[in-house]
Homo-oligomer: A and B are copies of this chain.
Amino acid sequence: MPRARFRHLAREIAEIGKGFYSRGWAFGTSGNLSAVVERDPLLLAITASGLDKSRLGPSQILGIDADEEVSFGRGKPSSEAAIHVAIVRGRSAGAVFHTHSIWSTVLSERHAREGGLKLEGYEMLKGLENVRSHEHSEWLPILDNSQDLKKLSREVADLLERQPGIHGLLLRGHGLYTWGASPREAKRHVEIFEFLMEVLARSGTRSDTG
């Protein structure tokens, strides 16, 4: 049963990951995707480390537990698996996607001093789960980047606790993390944030300090 569900999710996130590559959101070997196969104990389907996303296939998705031990598939899980686990737990998310786009990189530097950026007044915000009106103000926080993934995943966990309403976060000079109940919802959130960040950047305006 978990194996069948793992296979299904592996196919789904591999297809979504190739789509992100084609948009230019996962160049190099950047970006990683995960989806929850079983929650207790945690079994997480996640992209292996160092993959060219233009060729992403289900065989490159691993099954790991909360300690990043591999139970399904061969290979090393993404080095950022600890962040995925932190989000799955902090948000009861069913899928966590991380992309590296031009605009998220540019804006995460431009708004670093304010600690985040505000997205408000756009109809597209209604694509974020539980947002019902364009008259919504979404705060997208920015965390400093770090190579200490344990430290970074604790900071992510803390942020999720302090700011329960957020739908995503930026790592400075690095990229976007967003999540959803399912891979489809997390994909939708990636598209919403990427769209709104490009709008913000091209509008030539800066968000106010949140």
Contact = CB atoms under 8 A, between A and B. Distances in A.
Contact of A19 (B54, B132, B145): B54
9 contacts: A28-B127, A29-B127, A52-B188, A102-B199, A105-B122, A106-B199, A109-B203, A123-B174, A134-B173
B124 A30 contact: yes
A192 interface: yes
B28 A102 contact: no
A176 to B, nearest CB: 12
A28 B134 contact: no
Contacts of A147: 132-135
B175 A123 contact: yes
Closest 4 CB pairs of A and B: A28-B127, A123-B174, A27-B191, A28-B192
Interface of A: 19, 24, 27-30, 52, 54, 100, 102-103, 105-106, 109-110, 121-124, 127, 132-135, 145, 147, 171, 173-175, 184, 187-188, 191-192, 194-195, 198-199, 201-203
A123 B31 CA distance: 11
A145 B133 CA distance: 10
Contact of A173 (B109, B121, B191): B121
A22 to B, nearest CB: 9
Contact of A27 (B28, B106, B121, B194): B194
Contacts of A145: 123, 134
A60 B30 CA distance: 31
Contacts of A122: 105, 173-174
